[in-house]
Amino acid sequence: MQPVIKFFFACSLMAGVCLGSGAQTVTAEREQARPKVNRLSVGGYGEVAMTRNFFSDNAKRYVNADEHRNDPSHGQFDVPHAVVYLGYDFGKGWTMGTEMEFEHGGTGASYEHEYDEFNEWEQEFEKGGEVELEQFWLQKSFSRAANIKVGHIVVPVGLNNAYHEPLNFFTVYRPEGENTILPSTWHQTGVSFWGRSGSLRYEVQLLAGLNADQFTNTGWIRKGAATPLEYEVANKFGTAARVDCYAAPGLRLGLSAYYGHSIGNSVPREASGITATYKGEVCVGSLDLTYKGHHWIVRGQGDYGYLGDAEQLNYFYNRINKQSPYHHGTRIVSSTAYAAGIEAGYDIFSHIGTTREADKKLYVFGRYEQYNPYAKNTLNTAYDYTFVRRMAAGINYFPVPEICVKAEYSHRFLRSKYNDEPSVSIGVAYEGWFR
């Protein structure tokens, strides 16, 4: 890895440690914002979305682009996320928090022993989706500036992970670039130290390492935090840090970073061989900002990542063995990936007296982003379809502060030999505390 890149990541992590460590996430802000009268807190958020895609849904649309240029459009209804928060204040600085997430309507997958089919084991999928315990932690607060949290926690690297609730972005779905190259929402088991001092919020985390067996050419490290086992393998460790600075009214600037080893962080662990020889360094650096004022909301981020020993991943036993529960196939992983995006929205209801007094808002927004999970060819292998420029425009209507109705037109611009991908989406989202 080049010295400049190493210097950037070192500075990012040192900044978190020197300030007391990384930035406070929205989850931590929720803890401070919720009322303290009730020791039990209940809340949540959810999204419902409908999309019409005006491009092919054929799996080979990038391999044989000309053959699928005139394929019919396709649509989908979805419940991307439905989340329930539960928190409890035990007193004397001890609190507990949990977050249960149902993605895409939950899951209906199961194994069955079919006695009427020669006693075979059979896996049936009655419905797709995922159910995840996204957060489960115990926390001791010593002061506003010093808190220790242990358990399953959100990793606040990037704008999307630190502020992932649906009222924190204009688009119907989570911002696509970060959502493609990084785990989202990134959550792992570990320990966190966080706090706030003056205009700074900070956090530093020690986590189980990512698993290189799960990295892909189209998603980079996105699946690396997931585990098919009943536990997170921690042969290797990772460190995350974040600092948020509230230097001016309405303006927040954020810096976050991640560093860890990923090769050999799976089962079985080899005493010798390729997974014992290489480290698979994962380095991610991210800058982000939000501004809210004068009836404007502006959000932006830039992420850059480096993966060491990327050319070795194609030879891993778990990736070749189709019976393993890890990622299969010979798709090669890039040593670098990036995502950058910016969005801005203006509240036109702010100029209408009746809607302004009723606390209703109507934002007209635009978004531009560019990303590539395979930014550098590995082993002289190219996947040109991974380079994406995307534009979106639409509205966000807030009848009350906790509910938003979204509508957007978006367009993915791919390289010239592929077909562009336009779509129209409508969604409804909410977020709030019920007690």
Alpha helices in 215-364 (DSSP H): 274-277, 317-320, 353-357
Give the 3-state secondary structure percentages of the chain, helix then strand then coil, rounded to 5: 15, 50, 35
pTM: 0.85
54, 72 in Cβ contact below 8 A?
no
Q: Which of 132-141, 240-249, 329-338 has the lowest mean pLDDT?
A: 329-338
403 belongs to a structural domain? no
Flag whether pLDDT at 409 surpasses 90: yes
For 5, residues 6+ apart whose C-beta sits below 8 A from its C-beta are: 283, 304, 306
What share of the chain in percent tops pLDDT 90? 69
Distance linking the first and last C-alpha atoms of the chain: 50
Tell me the pLDDT band of 321, cut-offs 50, 70 and 90. low
Nearest to 66 by CA among 428, 429, 416: 416
Flag whether pLDDT at 175 surpasses 90: yes
| pLDDT, mean of residues 391-415 | 98
Here the CATH number for the domain that contains residue 290 is 2.40.160
357 belongs to a structural domain? no
What share of the chain in percent tops pLDDT 70? 82
126 belongs to a structural domain? no
76, 54 in Cβ contact below 8 A?
no
Q: What is the pLDDT of residue 403?
A: 98
Total domains in the fold of the chain: 1
| Cα angle, residue 147 at apex, residues 143 and 149 outer, rounded to 5° | 155
295 belongs to a structural domain? yes
399 belongs to a structural domain? no
Query: According to the per-residue pLDDT averaged within each range, which of 31-40, 309-318, 417-426 is highest?
Result: 417-426
390 belongs to a structural domain? no
Flag whether pLDDT at 271 surpasses 90: no
388 belongs to a structural domain? no
Flag whether pLDDT at 319 surpasses 80: no
Tell me the pLDDT band of 276, cut-offs 50, 70 and 90. confident
Nearest to 202 by CA among 163, 147, 158: 147
Give the domain range for residue 254: 3-51+70-102+131-350+368-382
Q: Which structure tokens are listed for 309?
A: 């020993």
Taking the C-alpha atoms of residue 301 and residue 278, their distance in angstroms, rounded to an integer, is 31
Q: Which structure tokens are listed for 14?
A: 């040192």
14 belongs to a structural domain? yes
Nearest to 190 by CA among 141, 135, 228, 147: 135
